[in-house]
């Protein structure tokens, strides 16, 4: 067995190469396929268990049902089937959910199914990518870590765009890895396509990896600097073209032939992307680039700053392997510093380390983040941890001072788990077991001598790896109980999720909801509106999306959502609303004091008759008031 690192693209010394010298994949080892199959089965169970009661997002799921029944709503991301106003996001991430609901019917599990598939595909794809980079052992560890990352599990059981974003960016990283390994243009073009599709899922966040990809390709790809730069530029052009395809489509479509673009004051898709979902998240001006003011209020305060990734809320969701990932990145770059420019081992640490660093910086300087935003760095942490342990294993087999890195990495990771779990003691019994296994594993790896059997070393390494996984697995598995899965608008695992669940459960819009599962109040209101509808285009108008969501989830009916998601989008104007009423396209309006007043809602209050709750089957008015604009005062 070699004891000197090499620059060959076949991987770490001391392990079987994942690629042959002709570039084709090496046949898998005997244990690889059963191990991978087991991981994928476990991932499927974690993500799909109780899918019929999944934590579907009330706002997004309402749009998913609408998109499943209307081509206009599907193409433009309309919140209601008439497509009067769009979502406040691009529709790409919701197209699979809409197709699923169209195929299987308006069921909660149908809306959640694509998320489960996307999550399992991400685990499989990361395994494939890491195997090509760092070998079978690293790939298995990376797949396990990604599978058991708490925020990954809880997010894959919801209907939020970050799951699709993560899958597509991992696919892009795999394509880039192929482009770096060989002097070929097609993988780089494919990388640009994947990034562009990721943009359709989460807009500008998909572009965060582009600087890292460009630097990695320019440093490590074969060919002259000019050829590398030209290929990289072409890949960037493809990424830009695919990214902007929907925005350009919406921009060139006449305003009368598409929904109003939510979150904007000027009905521009560019304002939606670069203002509402762009600069407003980093500046003190919430109306930057035509964005609607007040959008930052929809995000979680406090989850920002340089300590964000390790605070008491976000740390237990994502950061279990953060110290190991940082250590692996530093040592991987330092130990391979003297290798040729095209050394693939160093390139992998640069790629995933850059992915992690860029996202950490951007999240830290933004003006607030939901905890689940951090799910996008889970593949980077998993790849770095897997690749790092493989690197340390190689150094351990080679002997010398570097052999101490492997047991030290295991002890460091379990000690960090103790820090993250200490405040809550949520899985204290697992933590005790993890400490015992880590100590035993580290001692077994520390012992050296001619009489130390290979079986002892392998058993010690297995015990150490299991020790690092136990505590995050406990947090991840907790979200199978809805009490520990947070709110449907902010999936969060463990006791953090319980706090979110308890704090938000009293607000009906944030309770766990389902498709085609109306409450008695919703059923009574829908029955009343449908009985009294006489050819109007819209069943009713609502003040913001909050009152409309529950009705659209229950029954897909054309609904005029005044003010969009925040209630502040200037659509429709009072004049437009008056025209709809006078031409008998609209009769009823449902208002709520929980959303800001607009000229349109003021017009309703001054021109329409407020109905008594008993007239439409409600015992109490609650936070809603129904107005009849067909009987104007």
The predicted-structure confidence for 345-391, as pLDDT tens digits, reads as follows 999 999 999 999 999 999 998 887 889 999 999 999 999 999 999 99
Residues 464, 525, single domain; the answer is no
Q: Please report whether residue 575 resides in a domain.
A: yes
Q: What is the DSSP-derived secondary structure letter of residue 610?
A: E
Q: Residue 575 belongs to what domain range?
A: 520-628
Residues 490, 428, single domain; the answer is yes
Nearest-angstrom CA–CA distance, 17 and 26: 7
Domain final position from 502, 530, 560:
502
Residues 559, 497, single domain; the answer is no
Domain count, the chain: 2
Q: Are the CB atoms for 596 and 619 separated by under 8 Å?
A: no
Q: What is the pTM of this model?
A: 0.93
For residue 125, give Cα distances in angstroms to 72, 140, 166, 217: 33, 12, 11, 20
Residues 540, 595, single domain; the answer is yes
Chain length of the chain: 633
Residues above pLDDT 70, as percent of the chain: 91
Conformation bin of residue 555: beta by default, left when phi > 0, alpha when psi is -120 to 50: beta
Joined together, the tokens standing for residue 552 give 């659209």
| For range 19-29, the mean pLDDT | 59
Residues 533, 480, single domain; the answer is no
Domain final position from 502, 531, 556:
502
pLDDT of res. 16: 44
Residues 532, 616, single domain; the answer is yes
Nearest-angstrom CA–CA distance, 222 and 204: 29
Apex 92 CA angle, 374 and 67, nearest 5: 120
| For range 268-296, the mean pLDDT | 81
Q: Please report whether residue 412 resides in a domain.
A: no
Residues 586, 550, single domain; the answer is yes
Tens-place pLDDT, residues 165-195: 999 999 999 999 999 998 889 999 999 999 9
Q: Please report whether residue 600 resides in a domain.
A: yes
Nearest-angstrom CA–CA distance, 589 and 529: 10
| For range 383-400, the mean pLDDT | 94
Q: Please report whether residue 171 resides in a domain.
A: no
Residues 552, 623, single domain; the answer is yes
| For range 109-113, the mean pLDDT | 95
Q: Identify the band that residue 233 occupies on the pLDDT scale cut at 50, 70 and 90.
A: very high
Helix extents (H) in 514-598: 520-531, 545-554, 574-582
Q: The dihedral of CA 76, 80, 84, 89: what is its sign?
A: negative
Helix (H) or strand (E) holding 519: none
Residues 524, 617, single domain; the answer is yes
| Count of beta carbons in the 10 Å neighbourhood of residue 405 | 22
Nearest-angstrom CA–CA distance, 190 and 179: 9
Q: The dihedral of CA 604, 610, 613, 616: what is its sign?
A: negative
Query: How many helices (H) and strands (E) in the chain?
Result: 25, 7
Q: Please report whether residue 475 resides in a domain.
A: yes
């Amino acid at each position: 067995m070699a004891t000197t690192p090499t620059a060959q693209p076949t991987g770490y010394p001391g392990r079987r190469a994942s690629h042959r010298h002709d570039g084709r994949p090496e046949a898998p080892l005997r244990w690889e396929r059963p191990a991978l199959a087991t991981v994928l089965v476990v991932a499927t169970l974690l993500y799909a268990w109780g899918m019929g009661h999944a934590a579907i997002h009330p706002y997004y799921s309402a749009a998913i049902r609408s998109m499943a029944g209307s081509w206009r709503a599907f193409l433009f991301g309309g919140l209601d089937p008439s497509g009067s106003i769009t979502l406040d996001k691009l529709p790409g991430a919701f197209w699979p959910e809409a197709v699923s609901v169209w195929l299987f019917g308006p069921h909660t599990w149908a809306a959640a199914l694509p998320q489960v598939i996307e999550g399992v595909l991400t685990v499989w794809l990361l395994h494939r990518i890491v195997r090509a980079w760092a070998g079978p052992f690293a790939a298995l560890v990376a797949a396990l870590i990604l599978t058991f990352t708490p925020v990954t599990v809880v997010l894959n059981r919801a209907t939020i765009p970050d799951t699709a974003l993560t899958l597509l960016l991992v696919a892009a990283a795999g394509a880039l890895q192929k482009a770096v390994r060989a002097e070929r243009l097609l993988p780089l073009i494919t990388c640009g396509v994947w990034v562009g599709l990721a943009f359709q899922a989460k807009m500008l966040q998909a572009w965060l990896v582009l600087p890292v990809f460009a630097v990695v390709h320019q440093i490590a790809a074969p060919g002259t600097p000019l050829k590398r730069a030209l290929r990289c530029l072409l890949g960037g052009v493809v990424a830009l073209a695919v990214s902007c395809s929907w925005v350009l489509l919406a921009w060139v479509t006449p305003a009368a032939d598409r929904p109003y673009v939510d979150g904007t004051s000027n009905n521009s898709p560019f304002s939606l992307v670069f203002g509402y979902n762009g600069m407003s998240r980093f500046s003190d001006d919430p109306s930057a680039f035509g964005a609607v003011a007040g959008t930052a209020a929809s995000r979680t305060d406090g989850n920002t700053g340089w300590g964000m990734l390790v605070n008491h809320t976000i740390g237990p969701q994502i950061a279990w392997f953060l110290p190991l990932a940082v250590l692996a990145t530093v040592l991987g770059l330092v130990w391979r510093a003297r290798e040729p420019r095209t050394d693939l081992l160093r390139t992998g640490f640069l790629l995933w380390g850059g992915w992690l660093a860029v996202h950490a910086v951007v999240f830290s300087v933004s003006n607030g983040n939901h905890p689940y935003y951090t799910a996008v760095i889970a593949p980077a942490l998993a790849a770095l941890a897997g690749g790092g342990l493989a690197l340390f294993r190689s150094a351990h087999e080679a002997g010398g001072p570097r052999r101490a890195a492997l047991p030290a990495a295991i002890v460091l990771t379990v000690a960090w788990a103790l820090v993250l779990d200490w405040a809550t003691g949520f899985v204290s019994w697992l933590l005790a077991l993890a400490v015992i296994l880590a100590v035993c594993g580290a001692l077994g790896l520390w012992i050296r001598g001619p009489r130390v059997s290979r079986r002892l070393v392998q058993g010690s390494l297995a015990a150490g790896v299991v020790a690092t996984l136990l505590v995050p697995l406990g947090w991840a598995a907790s979200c199978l109980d809805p009490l520990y899965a947070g709110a449907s608008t902010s999936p969060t695992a463990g006791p953090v999720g319980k706090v979110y669940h308890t704090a938000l459960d009293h607000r009906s819009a944030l309770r766990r909801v389902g498709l085609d599962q109306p409450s008695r109040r919703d059923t009574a209101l829908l029955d009343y509106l449908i009985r009294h509808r006489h050819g109007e285009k819209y069943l009713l108008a609502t003040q913001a999306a909050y009152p409309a969501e529950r009705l659209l989830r229950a029954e897909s009916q054309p609904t005029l959502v005044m003010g969009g998601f925040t209630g502040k989008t200037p659509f429709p104007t009072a004049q437009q609303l008056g025209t709809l009423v006078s031409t008998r396209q609209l009769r009823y309006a449902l208002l709520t004091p929980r959303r800001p007043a607009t000229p349109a809602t003021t017009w309703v209050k001054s021109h329409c008759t407020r109905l008594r709750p008993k007239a439409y089957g409600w015992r109490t008015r609650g936070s809603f008031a129904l107005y009849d604009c067909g009987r104007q005062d």
